């Protein structure tokens, strides 16, 4: 995982389910909602977009996920990572935790 001493840097992405460990981060230079996975997401955190506020990270992942289709095998879970601290927040049951 990329490290930074700056707790004002955030990455955003999603997990297939809240119980999964792997985060699919928003890719630096990403496209828009509806673009292919390879355009918008990466599991390589060194290629992830870094946001300067938690709110910006949240709004970007929610915007990119708005066109995700329902899948009964997965529970798409938006995640925001505070890079400097290493803490994550995710939406579970329609609320940020």
pLDDT, tens digit only, all 97 positions of the chain: 444 455 689 999 999 998 999 999 999 999 888 888 889 999 999 999 999 999 999 999 999 998 888 888 888 999 999 998 989 998 876 677 6
Query: What is the predicted pLDDT for the residue at 67?
Result: 85
Find the domain containing 80 and state its range: 10-96
Q: What does the longest C-alpha to C-alpha distance in the chain come to?
A: 39
Examine residue 22 and state whether it is found in any structural domain, yes or no.
yes
Structurally, how many domains does the chain consist of? 1
Examine residue 2 and state whether it is found in any structural domain, yes or no.
no
- The pTM of the full predicted model, rounded to 2 decimals, is 0.84
What whole-number distance in Å separates Cα of residue 66 and Cα of residue 71?
Answer: 14
Query: What is the predicted pLDDT for the residue at 3?
Result: 45
């Amino acid at each position: 995982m990329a490290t930074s001493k700056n707790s004002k840097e955030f990455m955003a992405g999603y997990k297939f389910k809240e119980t999964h460990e792997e985060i699919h981060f928003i890719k630096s230079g990403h496209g828009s909602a509806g673009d292919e996975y390879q355009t918008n997401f990466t599991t390589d955190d060194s290629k992830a977009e870094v946001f300067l506020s938690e709110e910006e990270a949240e709004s970007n992942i929610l915007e990119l996920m708005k066109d995700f289709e329902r899948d009964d095998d997965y529970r798409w879970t938006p995640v925001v990572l505070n890079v400097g601290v290493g803490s994550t927040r995710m939406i579970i049951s329609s609320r940020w935790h």
